[in-house]
Amino acid sequence: MGVAVGDSCHDFCKHFRLADGVAPFFARNNKSVRQLSLSRLQRALHFVNTGRWINEHKVCVWAAKHPEHKISSLFEDRPIHEKLVCCETYGHLALSHSRLKAFVEAVKFIIRFLKDPQHVGAILPSSPSLAKEIASQIPKNCKRHIRILEIGPGTGAFTPRLIRMGMGNVTLHLVEYDKVFARNLRRDYGHLKNVQVFHRSILDHTDAKGYDVIISGLPLNGFSVKMVEDVFAKFKELSAEGATLSYFDYRFLPFIKSKYSKGLRKIMEIKNTFFRQYGVKKANVMWNFPLARVMHHRLDGITAERELAPCS
């Protein structure tokens, strides 16, 4: 039995000290300067009168803590509605990490890097900006079911965004080589019915194919030339027709190191050849350490700069 909408509205409004409902605080169109200005003015006036500030994040936190109230029903005509449904479905996974948790994850990542730099490949976890860019090619509001493969998720920097974007209409497979990372991923996401974690090399992932979206966090520049060739062949083997592939590397570092490494020069040639055949676009991410570059592909033989077809 769920909570009646009237009761939900009462509890929600009581918590935020709202007298006239929630409508004035959230614009129906986030691209309308007028509507955004009016909603922010209402928030400011509400803060002056009650001492309580209300914004999207606080409403999402409340929805994640009280999923039984289905507060999303009060926002069906507003852009925040989808976020609230996701918060009610996935709880804390739909919310951004706190600074403390981000710091703890960074420490864990550094430790794993020092123990196995070849397979971890990065000193620090990927930033939210990099996660946003690498997931940017995933179809939004797609009516059909989507199968997503994330390779080398590590501490899960990309994973919550993939879950949020897919909502309930997605199957997400996580393939992680590192034993500790795989165990933590099972702890954090194993309880979700549409998420499955595999502790293995991507080259050993043979029991599932036909993925619509492939996201890779593999440190390709640290692999052997043969390994890189095998990984790119695996991308094509695992993908459905017209699937999107997104992966990243670090700006400047490969170019500098390639001056002294014949193997890395060969790896860069392989990556450039693959992009010429399947590439859609490249995007630089400045808010990441080290600076990152994301390569987006469509695995159907279309040449670069072709826009992705809309999801139907």
Structure confidence at residue 102 (pLDDT):
55
Query: How far is it, in rounded angstroms, from Cα 269 to Cα 113?
Result: 26
Query: How far is it, in rounded angstroms, from Cα 201 to Cα 113?
Result: 17
Query: How far is it, in rounded angstroms, from Cα 70 to Cα 103?
Result: 32
* Mean pLDDT, the chain, whole residue set: 80
| Spans in the chain with pLDDT lower than 70 | 1-8, 20, 92-126, 141, 166-168, 252-261, 301-312
CA contacts within 13 A on the Cβ side of 170: 26
In this structure, what are the phi and psi dihedrals at residue 170, rounded to the nearest 5 degrees? -150, 145
Give start and end residues of each alpha helix (H) in the chain: 5-16, 33-50, 56-65, 80-90, 99-115, 117-120, 128-134, 159-166, 179-189, 225-238, 253-258, 262-278
Instruction: Spell out the domain ranges in the chain.
Output: 5-93, 99-298
Structure confidence at residue 157 (pLDDT):
83
Amino acid (1-letter code) at residue 41 = L
Query: How far is it, in rounded angstroms, from Cα 92 to Cα 160?
Result: 10
User: Does 99-298 carry CATH code 3.40.1160.10?
Assistant: no
Query: How far is it, in rounded angstroms, from Cα 158 to Cα 171?
Result: 15
What pTM value is reported for the model? 0.68
Token pair recorded at residue 74: 């009060």
Structure confidence at residue 232 (pLDDT):
97
